[in-house]
Protein backbone atom coordinates (compact mmCIF):
# COMPACT_ATOMS: atom_id res chain seq x y z
CA UNK A 1 0.00 0.00 0.00
CA UNK A 2 1.17 3.50 -0.84
CA UNK A 3 -0.21 6.67 0.72
CA UNK A 4 -3.38 6.62 2.76
CA UNK A 5 -5.26 3.35 3.22
CA UNK A 6 -8.81 3.64 1.89
CA UNK A 7 -10.89 2.15 4.68
CA UNK A 8 -14.57 1.28 5.17
CA UNK A 9 -16.66 0.25 8.17
CA UNK A 10 -19.24 -2.55 8.08
CA UNK A 11 -21.83 -2.13 10.81
CA UNK A 12 -22.91 1.21 12.30
CA UNK A 13 -23.50 0.41 15.96
CA UNK A 14 -21.93 2.12 18.97
CA UNK A 15 -18.41 0.77 18.51
CA UNK A 16 -18.36 1.92 14.88
CA UNK A 17 -18.29 5.53 16.09
CA UNK A 18 -15.03 4.83 17.93
CA UNK A 19 -13.47 3.45 14.75
CA UNK A 20 -14.77 6.33 12.66
CA UNK A 21 -13.26 8.85 15.07
CA UNK A 22 -9.95 6.97 15.07
CA UNK A 23 -9.85 6.78 11.28
CA UNK A 24 -10.47 10.50 11.07
CA UNK A 25 -7.48 11.14 13.32
CA UNK A 26 -5.07 8.78 11.54
CA UNK A 27 -2.91 10.42 8.87
CA UNK A 28 -2.33 6.99 7.32
CA UNK A 29 -6.06 6.29 6.82
CA UNK A 30 -8.77 7.65 4.56
CA UNK A 31 -12.26 6.80 5.79
CA UNK A 32 -14.36 6.53 2.63
CA UNK A 33 -17.46 4.37 3.07
CA UNK A 34 -19.82 2.55 5.41
CA UNK A 35 -22.50 -0.12 5.15
CA UNK A 36 -25.11 -1.50 7.52
CA UNK A 37 -28.02 -3.93 7.37
CA UNK A 38 -30.18 -0.88 8.17
CA UNK A 39 -29.48 1.43 5.23
CA UNK A 40 -31.11 4.43 6.88
CA UNK A 41 -28.74 4.07 9.82
CA UNK A 42 -25.84 3.77 7.37
CA UNK A 43 -26.94 7.00 5.68
CA UNK A 44 -27.10 8.87 8.98
CA UNK A 45 -23.70 7.52 9.99
CA UNK A 46 -22.21 8.45 6.61
CA UNK A 47 -23.59 11.98 6.80
CA UNK A 48 -22.04 12.49 10.21
CA UNK A 49 -18.57 11.41 9.08
CA UNK A 50 -18.85 12.70 5.51
CA UNK A 51 -18.39 9.34 3.81
CA UNK A 52 -20.57 7.38 1.38
CA UNK A 53 -23.20 4.89 2.52
CA UNK A 54 -23.88 1.58 0.79
CA UNK A 55 -26.66 -0.94 1.25
CA UNK A 56 -24.31 -3.94 1.02
CA UNK A 57 -20.60 -4.71 1.29
CA UNK A 58 -20.31 -6.13 -2.22
CA UNK A 59 -21.36 -2.83 -3.79
CA UNK A 60 -19.16 -0.91 -1.39
CA UNK A 61 -16.03 -2.88 -2.30
CA UNK A 62 -16.68 -2.77 -6.04
CA UNK A 63 -17.46 0.94 -6.13
CA UNK A 64 -15.23 2.60 -3.52
CA UNK A 65 -11.82 1.02 -4.27
CA UNK A 66 -11.52 0.27 -0.58
CA UNK A 67 -8.32 -1.40 0.67
CA UNK A 68 -9.37 -2.31 4.22
CA UNK A 69 -12.64 -3.04 6.00
CA UNK A 70 -13.36 -2.84 9.73
CA UNK A 71 -16.10 -5.27 10.76
CA UNK A 72 -18.32 -3.84 13.53
CA UNK A 73 -21.43 -5.96 13.10
CA UNK A 74 -22.95 -8.05 15.93
CA UNK A 75 -20.77 -11.07 16.78
CA UNK A 76 -22.66 -13.78 14.86
CA UNK A 77 -22.55 -11.58 11.75
CA UNK A 78 -18.76 -11.19 11.61
CA UNK A 79 -18.13 -14.09 9.23
CA UNK A 80 -19.99 -12.90 6.13
CA UNK A 81 -18.40 -9.43 5.73
CA UNK A 82 -14.95 -10.64 6.78
CA UNK A 83 -14.92 -13.49 4.26
CA UNK A 84 -16.41 -11.35 1.50
CA UNK A 85 -13.77 -8.66 2.02
CA UNK A 86 -10.95 -11.21 2.04
CA UNK A 87 -12.24 -12.83 -1.14
CA UNK A 88 -12.12 -9.40 -2.78
CA UNK A 89 -8.49 -8.93 -1.74
CA UNK A 90 -9.36 -6.40 0.96
CA UNK A 91 -7.59 -6.43 4.34
CA UNK A 92 -9.83 -7.05 7.36
CA UNK A 93 -9.90 -5.80 10.96
CA UNK A 94 -12.62 -7.43 13.08
CA UNK A 95 -13.98 -6.09 16.35
CA UNK A 96 -13.60 -8.54 19.22
CA UNK A 97 -14.34 -11.37 19.27
CA UNK A 98 -13.27 -12.72 15.88
CA UNK A 99 -16.58 -14.64 15.69
CA UNK A 100 -19.09 -16.38 17.93
CA UNK A 101 -18.32 -19.93 16.78
CA UNK A 102 -15.18 -21.91 16.03
CA UNK A 103 -16.40 -22.72 12.51
CA UNK A 104 -16.87 -19.02 11.74
CA UNK A 105 -13.40 -18.23 13.10
CA UNK A 106 -11.87 -20.97 10.94
CA UNK A 107 -13.69 -19.70 7.85
CA UNK A 108 -12.45 -16.13 8.36
CA UNK A 109 -8.86 -17.23 9.00
CA UNK A 110 -8.89 -19.58 6.00
CA UNK A 111 -10.28 -16.90 3.66
CA UNK A 112 -7.63 -14.39 4.71
CA UNK A 113 -4.83 -16.93 4.24
CA UNK A 114 -6.15 -18.16 0.88
CA UNK A 115 -6.44 -14.67 -0.58
CA UNK A 116 -3.27 -13.27 0.96
CA UNK A 117 -4.81 -10.43 2.95
CA UNK A 118 -4.02 -9.26 6.46
CA UNK A 119 -6.48 -10.21 9.19
CA UNK A 120 -6.58 -8.59 12.62
CA UNK A 121 -8.80 -8.63 15.70
CA UNK A 122 -9.19 -5.59 17.95
CA UNK A 123 -7.09 -6.45 21.02
CA UNK A 124 -6.07 -2.97 22.12
CA UNK A 125 -5.37 -3.94 25.72
CA UNK A 126 -2.20 -5.67 24.56
CA UNK A 127 -0.85 -2.14 24.22
CA UNK A 128 -1.64 -1.13 27.79
CA UNK A 129 1.73 -0.30 29.31
CA UNK A 130 1.69 -2.95 32.11
CA UNK A 131 0.66 -5.67 29.64
CA UNK A 132 3.13 -4.62 26.97
CA UNK A 133 6.00 -4.54 29.47
CA UNK A 134 5.03 -7.92 30.86
CA UNK A 135 5.00 -9.49 27.39
CA UNK A 136 8.37 -7.94 26.56
CA UNK A 137 9.85 -9.24 29.82
CA UNK A 138 8.55 -12.77 29.15
CA UNK A 139 9.85 -12.77 25.57
CA UNK A 140 13.25 -11.54 26.80
CA UNK A 141 13.46 -14.37 29.33
CA UNK A 142 13.55 -12.00 32.29
CA UNK A 143 10.72 -13.75 34.14
CA UNK A 144 11.31 -17.35 33.22
CA UNK A 145 8.51 -19.55 31.85
CA UNK A 146 4.93 -18.64 32.86
CA UNK A 147 3.46 -21.60 34.73
CA UNK A 148 0.21 -20.37 36.31
CA UNK A 149 -2.40 -17.87 35.14
CA UNK A 150 -5.67 -16.51 36.50
CA UNK A 151 -8.47 -14.42 35.04
CA UNK A 152 -11.14 -13.10 37.42
CA UNK A 153 -13.84 -10.65 36.40
CA UNK A 154 -16.87 -9.85 38.56
CA UNK A 155 -19.40 -7.18 37.68
CA UNK A 156 -23.07 -6.56 37.04
CA UNK A 157 -25.52 -5.84 34.21
CA UNK A 158 -29.14 -4.94 34.83
CA UNK A 159 -32.17 -5.47 32.65
CA UNK A 160 -31.91 -2.00 31.12
CA UNK A 161 -28.51 -2.90 29.71
CA UNK A 162 -29.88 -5.95 27.91
CA UNK A 163 -32.92 -4.03 26.66
CA UNK A 164 -30.76 -1.20 25.28
CA UNK A 165 -30.11 -3.10 22.02
CA UNK A 166 -32.37 -5.76 20.48
CA UNK A 167 -29.44 -8.12 19.83
CA UNK A 168 -28.21 -8.31 23.42
CA UNK A 169 -28.73 -11.42 25.53
CA UNK A 170 -29.79 -13.76 22.70
CA UNK A 171 -27.87 -16.72 21.33
CA UNK A 172 -28.70 -16.04 17.68
CA UNK A 173 -27.87 -12.32 17.71
CA UNK A 174 -25.19 -11.93 20.39
CA UNK A 175 -23.71 -15.41 20.20
CA UNK A 176 -23.08 -15.66 23.92
CA UNK A 177 -22.95 -13.63 27.09
CA UNK A 178 -20.15 -12.77 29.49
CA UNK A 179 -17.60 -14.98 27.70
CA UNK A 180 -18.08 -13.49 24.26
CA UNK A 181 -18.93 -9.89 25.08
CA UNK A 182 -17.26 -8.75 28.30
CA UNK A 183 -14.35 -11.22 28.70
CA UNK A 184 -12.49 -11.43 25.35
CA UNK A 185 -9.87 -8.80 26.28
CA UNK A 186 -8.94 -10.57 29.51
CA UNK A 187 -8.85 -13.98 27.85
CA UNK A 188 -6.77 -12.57 25.00
CA UNK A 189 -4.17 -11.19 27.43
CA UNK A 190 -4.03 -14.52 29.27
CA UNK A 191 -3.39 -16.52 26.10
CA UNK A 192 -1.00 -13.91 24.68
CA UNK A 193 1.15 -14.12 27.80
CA UNK A 194 0.84 -17.85 28.45
CA UNK A 195 1.00 -19.24 24.91
CA UNK A 196 -1.13 -21.69 22.89
CA UNK A 197 -3.82 -23.69 24.67
CA UNK A 198 -3.78 -27.49 24.57
CA UNK A 199 -6.84 -28.43 26.67
CA UNK A 200 -9.79 -26.57 28.15
CA UNK A 201 -12.86 -27.57 30.13
CA UNK A 202 -15.47 -25.60 31.99
CA UNK A 203 -19.05 -24.69 32.78
CA UNK A 204 -21.35 -21.80 32.00
CA UNK A 205 -24.74 -20.84 33.38
CA UNK A 206 -27.29 -18.09 33.67
CA UNK A 207 -27.46 -17.56 37.43
CA UNK A 208 -29.16 -14.22 37.90
CA UNK A 209 -30.58 -12.85 34.64
CA UNK A 210 -33.88 -14.63 33.84
CA UNK A 211 -34.71 -12.11 31.10
CA UNK A 212 -31.82 -13.21 28.81
CA UNK A 213 -30.94 -16.48 27.07
CA UNK A 214 -27.14 -16.41 27.29
CA UNK A 215 -24.75 -17.10 30.15
CA UNK A 216 -23.93 -14.51 32.79
CA UNK A 217 -21.25 -16.67 34.48
CA UNK A 218 -18.52 -19.01 33.23
CA UNK A 219 -15.64 -20.97 34.74
CA UNK A 220 -12.80 -22.78 32.96
CA UNK A 221 -9.64 -24.76 33.63
CA UNK A 222 -6.90 -24.50 31.01
CA UNK A 223 -3.77 -26.51 30.23
CA UNK A 224 -1.36 -24.77 27.87
CA UNK A 225 0.91 -26.46 25.36
CA UNK A 226 3.86 -25.58 27.58
CA UNK A 227 2.32 -27.54 30.47
CA UNK A 228 1.31 -24.36 32.32
CA UNK A 229 -2.14 -24.13 33.93
CA UNK A 230 -4.74 -21.38 34.33
CA UNK A 231 -8.17 -20.80 35.83
CA UNK A 232 -10.90 -18.47 34.59
CA UNK A 233 -13.96 -17.19 36.43
CA UNK A 234 -16.02 -14.42 34.87
CA UNK A 235 -19.45 -13.27 36.01
CA UNK A 236 -21.97 -10.44 35.66
CA UNK A 237 -23.92 -11.28 38.82
CA UNK A 238 -21.89 -9.33 41.39
CA UNK A 239 -23.62 -6.06 42.23
CA UNK A 240 -20.61 -4.19 43.51
CA UNK A 241 -17.39 -2.84 42.04
CA UNK A 242 -14.50 -5.28 42.49
CA UNK A 243 -11.08 -5.53 40.83
CA UNK A 244 -10.87 -7.09 37.38
CA UNK A 245 -7.55 -8.70 36.75
CA UNK A 246 -5.32 -11.09 34.89
CA UNK A 247 -2.48 -12.69 36.85
CA UNK A 248 0.39 -14.93 35.99
CA UNK A 249 3.17 -16.57 37.94
CA UNK A 250 6.51 -17.23 36.25
CA UNK A 251 9.14 -19.81 37.16
CA UNK A 252 12.48 -18.17 37.91
CA UNK A 253 15.85 -19.36 39.22
CA UNK A 254 15.39 -17.68 42.60
CA UNK A 255 11.69 -17.95 43.41
CA UNK A 256 8.25 -17.37 41.99
CA UNK A 257 7.38 -13.83 40.94
CA UNK A 258 3.82 -12.59 40.64
CA UNK A 259 2.96 -9.90 38.13
CA UNK A 260 -0.48 -8.46 38.53
CA UNK A 261 -2.30 -6.44 35.90
CA UNK A 262 -5.22 -4.69 37.60
CA UNK A 263 -7.81 -2.70 35.67
CA UNK A 264 -8.91 -0.97 38.85
CA UNK A 265 -6.97 1.86 40.43
CA UNK A 266 -4.79 1.40 43.52
CA UNK A 267 -5.56 4.84 44.91
CA UNK A 268 -8.64 5.10 47.13
CA UNK A 269 -9.76 8.76 47.37
CA UNK A 270 -12.66 8.18 49.79
CA UNK A 271 -10.89 9.21 53.03
CA UNK A 272 -9.95 12.60 51.57
CA UNK A 273 -13.03 13.66 49.60
CA UNK A 274 -14.08 16.31 52.15
CA UNK A 275 -10.67 17.98 51.78
CA UNK A 276 -11.21 18.79 48.09
CA UNK A 277 -11.87 22.51 47.66
CA UNK A 278 -11.72 22.78 43.87
CA UNK A 279 -14.75 22.02 41.66
CA UNK A 280 -15.02 18.30 40.91
CA UNK A 281 -17.33 16.63 38.41
CA UNK A 282 -18.21 12.92 38.55
CA UNK A 283 -19.37 11.97 35.05
CA UNK A 284 -20.98 8.59 34.48
CA UNK A 285 -22.78 7.15 31.46
CA UNK A 286 -26.07 5.37 31.96
CA UNK A 287 -24.50 2.17 30.63
CA UNK A 288 -21.10 2.37 32.29
CA UNK A 289 -19.57 -1.10 32.58
CA UNK A 290 -17.08 -0.38 35.38
CA UNK A 291 -19.21 1.70 37.76
CA UNK A 292 -22.84 0.90 36.89
CA UNK A 293 -24.89 3.96 37.87
CA UNK A 294 -27.58 1.80 39.45
CA UNK A 295 -25.10 1.09 42.25
CA UNK A 296 -25.04 4.81 43.08
CA UNK A 297 -21.32 4.87 43.92
CA UNK A 298 -20.33 8.10 42.16
CA UNK A 299 -23.62 9.81 42.95
CA UNK A 300 -23.21 9.04 46.64
CA UNK A 301 -19.54 9.87 47.04
CA UNK A 302 -19.52 13.13 45.08
CA UNK A 303 -21.89 14.62 47.67
CA UNK A 304 -18.96 14.63 50.10
CA UNK A 305 -17.14 17.15 47.90
CA UNK A 306 -18.16 20.72 48.70
CA UNK A 307 -18.17 21.82 45.05
CA UNK A 308 -18.90 18.41 43.62
CA UNK A 309 -21.41 17.72 40.87
CA UNK A 310 -22.77 14.42 39.58
CA UNK A 311 -23.54 14.13 35.87
CA UNK A 312 -25.27 11.15 34.28
CA UNK A 313 -24.98 10.96 30.50
CA UNK A 314 -28.09 9.32 28.98
CA UNK A 315 -27.65 6.09 27.01
CA UNK A 316 -27.32 6.49 23.26
CA UNK A 317 -25.67 4.71 20.34
CA UNK A 318 -22.48 6.62 21.19
CA UNK A 319 -22.36 5.95 24.92
CA UNK A 320 -23.44 2.35 25.30
CA UNK A 321 -20.92 0.00 26.83
CA UNK A 322 -17.30 0.99 27.24
CA UNK A 323 -15.82 3.79 25.19
CA UNK A 324 -17.63 6.87 26.49
CA UNK A 325 -14.37 8.04 28.07
CA UNK A 326 -12.75 8.12 24.62
CA UNK A 327 -15.37 10.35 22.99
CA UNK A 328 -14.68 14.00 23.85
CA UNK A 329 -17.76 14.96 21.86
CA UNK A 330 -19.86 13.32 24.59
CA UNK A 331 -18.30 14.79 27.72
CA UNK A 332 -16.45 17.79 26.29
CA UNK A 333 -19.15 20.30 27.26
CA UNK A 334 -18.92 19.20 30.89
CA UNK A 335 -15.16 19.67 30.81
CA UNK A 336 -15.67 23.19 29.47
CA UNK A 337 -18.10 23.93 32.31
CA UNK A 338 -15.58 22.61 34.83
CA UNK A 339 -12.82 24.82 33.41
CA UNK A 340 -15.11 27.84 33.56
CA UNK A 341 -16.07 27.12 37.16
CA UNK A 342 -12.41 26.64 38.06
CA UNK A 343 -11.28 30.03 36.70
CA UNK A 344 -9.91 32.36 39.40
CA UNK A 345 -12.31 35.05 40.50
CA UNK A 346 -11.53 38.57 39.18
CA UNK A 347 -9.44 40.76 41.48
CA UNK A 348 -11.50 42.54 44.11
CA UNK A 349 -13.82 39.56 44.63
Residue 233 is part of a domain; what is its CATH number? 3.30.360.10
pLDDT in tens, 130-170: 888 889 989 998 888 899 999 998 888 888 889 888 899 99
- pLDDT on residue 258: 36
**How much is the pTM?**
0.72
Residues 250 and 169 in one domain: yes
Whether residue 112 sits in one domain with residue 153: no
3-class DSSP state of 114: helix
Q: pLDDT for 206-263, tens place per residue? A: 999 999 999 999 999 999 999 999 999 999 988 765 555 555 665 543 333 333 334 3
Which of 205, 229, 262 is where one domain is finished?
Answer: 262
Nearest-angstrom CA–CA distance, 77 and 172 = 10
At 160 the three-state DSSP class reads helix
How many angstroms separate the CA atoms of 141 and 307, rounded?
A: 51
> Mean pLDDT in runs of 10 for the chain (349 residues)?
88 93 94 97 97 97 97 96 98 96 97 98 90 89 89 88 89 94 92 96 96 96 97 87 56 37 48 82 71 73 88 72 59 77 60
Residue 329 in domain? yes
Residue 348 lies in a domain: no
**Cβ-Cβ contacts under 8 Å for 336 (sequence gap 6 or more):** none
Mark whether 246 and 131 lie in a shared domain.
yes
Q: Which of 105, 122, 139 is the last residue of a domain?
A: 122
Asked, for residue 74, whether it belongs to a domain, the answer is yes
Q: What's the distance, CA 318 to chain centroid?
A: 14
Does residue 338 form part of some domain? yes
The domain total for the chain is 3
What does the pLDDT read at residue 41? 96
In a domain, 222, yes or no: yes
pLDDT at 281 (0 to 100): 82
Q: Both 39 and 108 in a single domain?
A: yes
323: left (phi over 0), alpha (psi -120 to 50) or beta: left
Which pLDDT value is given to residue 344?
62
Distance, CA of 73 to CA of 10 (rounded, Å): 6
- Within 10 angstroms of residue 294's Cβ, the number of other Cβ atoms is 14
> CA-CA distances (angstroms) from residue 222 to 142, 246, 284?
24, 14, 36
Confirm whether 347 is domain-assigned.
Answer: no
- Write down the pLDDT at residue 15: 92
Single residue among 262, 282, 311 that ends a domain in this structure:
262
Q: What is the pLDDT at residue 238? A: 82
**Same domain? 189 vs 63:** no
Rounded CA separation 167/75 (Å): 10
Q: Do 255 and 129 share a structural domain?
A: yes
86 and 18 in a common domain: yes
Judge if 75 and 19 occupy the same domain.
yes
In a domain, 239, yes or no: yes
Q: How far apart are CA 113 and CA 239, in angstroms?
A: 44
Say yes or no: 131 and 46 in one domain.
no
Residues 319 and 254 in one domain: no
Q: How confident is the model at residue 255, as a pLDDT?
A: 32
Nearest to 81 by CA among 15, 20, 8: 8
Q: Note the pLDDT of residue 266.
A: 46
Q: Of the candidates 113, 55, 38, which has an alpha carbon nearest to the alpha carbon of residue 82?
A: 113
- Say whether the peptide bond before residue 97 is cis (omega within 30 degrees of 0): yes
The whole domain housing 336 covers 270-342
- Residue % of the chain over a pLDDT of 70: 82
**pLDDT value of residue 24:** 93
Q: For 10, phi and psi rounded to 5 degrees?
A: -110, 115
Q: Residue 349 falls within a domain, yes or no?
A: no
The pLDDT of residue 276 is 84
Regarding whether 135 and 112 lie in a shared domain, the answer is no
> Using CA atoms, how far apart are residues 220 and 234, in angstroms rounded to an integer?
9
CATH number, domain containing residue 16: 3.40.50.720
Amino acid sequence: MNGKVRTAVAGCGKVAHLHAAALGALPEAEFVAVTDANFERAREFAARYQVRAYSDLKSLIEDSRVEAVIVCTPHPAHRAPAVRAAEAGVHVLVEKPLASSLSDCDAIIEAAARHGVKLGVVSQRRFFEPVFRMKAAIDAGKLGAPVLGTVAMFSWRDENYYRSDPWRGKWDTEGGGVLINQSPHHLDILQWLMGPIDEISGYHANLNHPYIEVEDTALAMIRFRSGALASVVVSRVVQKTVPIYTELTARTDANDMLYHYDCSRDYNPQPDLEKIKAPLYAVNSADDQVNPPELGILEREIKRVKRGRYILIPTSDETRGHGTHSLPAIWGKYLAELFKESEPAPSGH
